A and B are shown apart, each in its own frame.
Chain A
């Protein structure tokens, strides 16, 4: 009974009674381009039901990428995205979750990363680079799970290192001591594991008096540190912000010509959720020889790549089309050589789409830092 009451309160706190059922959320929802997933109906349903059944039979909640288009556009400022996350929390609490999610959550508690790889392998990506330890530097480069473990993304992390060294930035890393930021875990509804990760990370970061700034590879890590870690002492930045300021200050010079036609895909966690639109563009425009063009749908209207909200580990069934496919085909029609990204998940999903659309050799997906690294002497 108490539990039922708590769950009802959970929903009421979100102010769902403020919803006027205008449908702005549904029409802006990237998932709704592909599936019947209807966030407005979901909100209505949740508002008008209560108790034990509130989350059951709502399997489609696992489709949400938590891109937050709905929340950012809602004219009544209710948070449809949080409805999804809370419903997921209820299912996690009940243990009523898909097996692949269970594996991810298990991996987090054992390995401190969602990729089911041993934590001792976390520093493999920087073998031979002889990076400083966090205790000896002003700035902490927080690599993040995916760039640390995924062979494709390790190149991005290495490119970041190359640029930071070139700009003579005094930085260090946590090596194998680095722990997952918890962003995706929270969005999968496991708020309990997230709390544990947050406490662990806060203790680590605040423990180093020497560290004034943290720079992340992923907008997802950046977002959660910035917005969901109250009491964090060092200033948190995404690398696009930091590198853009290095370029503006003349500390990093992009010297070599890079004659390519490039567009930029805004990551939801950087753009829509944190309004960082100009810094990545500033970096790209600073590359000599580059021809920069915009997607028709850019900035606030950028399409989601479907990589967030735990979707890296969830397959949606019965859906042939993917947003990433639309994105790479648009890029092909624009005649660009490169889609630049600033997020590990965007890189993986768009690169997949390039392969599945037979666009290899025609359109290439690169992280901004990989482009930057190519122009350094």
Chain B
């Protein structure tokens, strides 16, 4: 079976999260293995979160803001 990475994404509510919503409104299709956690600003992201996500089994972390 092909390797399917699990990606945890931290998205800023005001830009990237809104962008992900817009992708939805526009019905853009993308793989389902990305899981989004909404934050109010990408500056909220503590390095601890990224390490924790990897420790919990994520193969990649996306921080976007």
**A adjacent to B, CB under 8 Å:** no
Residues of A within 8 A of B (CB): none
